[in-house]
Amino acid sequence: MYVTQSVCYNLAKIRTFDWMPFVRTRLVVKNHRERMNRLKIAVYPGSFDPITNGHIDILERSSLLFDKIIVAVVHNPTKNALFSPEERAQFITESTRHIKNIEVDCFDGLLAQYMKQKGSDIIIRGLRSITDFEYESHMSMMNRHLLPHVDTIFIMSDIRYIYISSSSVKEVAMLGGDVTCMVPALVKEALRQKYRLKKQNG
Ligand code: COA
């Protein structure tokens, strides 16, 4: 009885203000637990014009780290794309059939808004070089400014694909070079057909 009275007396002496950090910490832990229990959905955005073996390598490795990966084909108006977003999405779907936890989607607009809409707070980006890092770090900071709970996870490109980019693949294919080891077979064929048509149409 004496102990209970004493505890009540001491608790009453503590002002609400003193409880606040404790309550705040509990809320942070609760939010963190809720986030931990949710399915880990990551978004891998990019132009993918077209998808290369370098992108596929990033997808194969990141699919082991997350429950689901949404590959988001971005319509980037500053880039003069060779393939339509629908064609690019189809190439991704077909060349990643062996990866089970992948969904392919197209979007235009702000990536931060798309992340919100998909309920994801992880962006995946591949890094090939220090030049990529500079560009990517700014983009990551901008996205965090727009959505503070979003993190960008960088995956280092495999050494076999460090020199590959969609533009270089297109250039090689356009000039008749061999892109067999750079892109999936269906992309190689699509590139061949696209440039043949372009040649025919002048
Ligand atoms: N293997 C091979 N190539 C790779 C690669 C890898 N692992 N990682 C990147 N690349 C290449 C791509 O093929 C691409 O080559 P290209 O420039 O010759 O086409 C190049 O690196 C750039 O990669 P990409 O993923 O296509 O980036 P991007 O700069 O076109 O687009 C977005 C980046 C889509 C994420 C960004 O523009 C975006 O978020 N847009 C939405 C609008 C927005 O929110 N803007 C504010 C962002 S801060």
Q: What is the pLDDT of residues 71-130, one digit of tens each?
A: 999 988 888 999 999 999 999 999 999 999 999 999 999 999 999 999 999 999 999 988
pTM of the shown model: 0.84
- Pocket of ligand 1 contains residue 170 by CB under 6 Å: no
The residue whose CA has the least distance to atom 33 of ligand 1 is 46
- What angle do helix axes 85-95 and 185-200 make, rounded to 10 degrees? 150
Q: Which residues are catalytic?
A: 55, 79, 128, 166
Task: Give, to the nearest 10 degrees, the angle between helix 111-118 and helix 130-146.
Answer: 60
Q: 119: phi > 0 → left, psi -120 to 50 → alpha, else beta; which?
A: left
Domains of the chain: 2-35 (no CATH), 39-162 (3.40.50.620)
Atom 18, ligand 1: residue with shortest CA distance: 167
**Measured in angstroms, how far is the CA atom of residue 132 from the centroid of ligand 1?**
10
Ligand 1 center–CA 189 separation, angstroms: 23
Instruction: Write out pLDDT tens, residues 127-170.
Output: 998 889 999 999 999 999 999 999 999 999 999 999 999 999 99
Give the dihedral of Cα atoms 84, 90, 96, 97; nearest 10 deg.
180
- H or E element, residue 170: helix 166-174
- Tokens 């995956």 label which residue? 155
pLDDT above 70 for 1 = no
